Structure formats: structure tokens, C-alpha cells
Amino acid sequence: MSDKSVVSVKILEVNEVSFSMKSLPENIHEVEFGKNLQYGLGFNLSVDHKSNIFRIRILVNYSVNSVNDIMVSSEVDVVFKVKNLNNVVKVDELTKKMDIQNEFLSTLVGVCIGTSRGVLSTKTKGTPFAKAPLPIINSKDVVSKMMGVQVKK
């Protein structure tokens, strides 16, 4: 395999963009995923082919079923340096639509979810949310839901 076909990735930066947490109402003493706690994920992807930079911003929200509000919100920006980025990410210059290789994106989304889990674990320490870390999430399922037809296998 030639050096031009090998794709390698390293993390350049992890930046906490924002974090907020609200206190639970007095009538709620515990939170647990699958019972009264839900999470939501959001992603923003950007690419800079000139610098071989691929960036994923991940937003994680926690909400409690009986509370009509987001209780925990974390936004983290992860910057990757990707050797031979053109082999896995292509951008249509006219529509600006990204065509991203599925396995590549799934791997990086998994890294971002794990990174966010660590940030949330640190930030919620000593609160009821500390006992409810972000669950293990199948990044391939996340990618198929978030990208739909844009993901290339």
C-alpha cells in the first residue's frame, strides 16, 4: 500500500466550548438512564483540506422526564489532523455537501463521544448526574442516524 493511500489520524485539540448544569428539583433525588433520564446528541462537522483538519463539535444534553428543561449541556470541539484526508472526506464545491467514508466517521464520532463522557464525568462530579455517566453508544448507529444518505460505505 502506498503512503498516499494510508489514512492516519491524531487528535490535535480538545476544547470545551460550553457547559451548564441545573440543580434537580427538590422532589427528584436520583437520575438514571432508562428510568427518568434521557440524553440527546448533536454534531457539527467541518473540514479544511488545505490543513488536513477534520473537526467535530459534539453537543450532549441531559433531560429529566418530569422536568421540561435541559438539565446538563456540554459542548466539546475535537480537532483531528488527518493524513490523506482526501481519501476519506470529499466535499462537493457546488453544494458544500460532505461525502465521508463510514468507518472513518464512526471511529471519530466514537472518540468524540468518549471524550464528552470524560468531560461530563469531571464536570458532574459530586452531583446526582455523576452516577449517570453517558452510556456506551454504538457510533455506527449514531453515524447512520446523523448522516443518512451522506454516509458513504
pLDDT above 90 as % of the chain: 80
Per-residue pLDDT, averaged over 50-56, amounts to 97
Number of domains in the chain: 1
Residue keyed to cell 466539546: 76
Other beta carbons within 10 angstroms of residue 144's beta carbon come to 15
- pLDDT one-digit tens code per residue, 4-20: 789 999 999 999 999 99
Per-residue pLDDT, averaged over 82-86, amounts to 95
135 within some domain: yes
3 within some domain: no
Which DSSP symbol is given to 148?
A: G
**Residue 37 domain boundaries:** 8-147
Q: What is the pLDDT of residue 153?
A: 37
Q: What is the pLDDT of residue 150?
A: 46
CATH of the domain at 95: 3.10.420.10
**Considering only CA atoms, which of 116, 103, 3, 108 is closest in space to residue 46?**
108
Cell numbers at 82, concatenated? 488527518
Per-residue pLDDT, averaged over 74-87, amounts to 97
Contact 45/106 with Cβ under 8 angstroms?
no
Helices (H), the chain: 102-123, 139-147
153 within some domain: no
Contact 79/55 with Cβ under 8 angstroms?
yes
1 within some domain: no
> pTM score, two decimals?
0.89
| The amino acid at 86 | N
Q: Cα–Cα distance between 111 and 108 in angstroms, integer?
A: 5
Decide: helix, strand or coil at residue 113.
helix
Per-residue pLDDT, averaged over 64-79, amounts to 95
- pLDDT one-digit tens code per residue, 22-34: 999 999 989 999 9
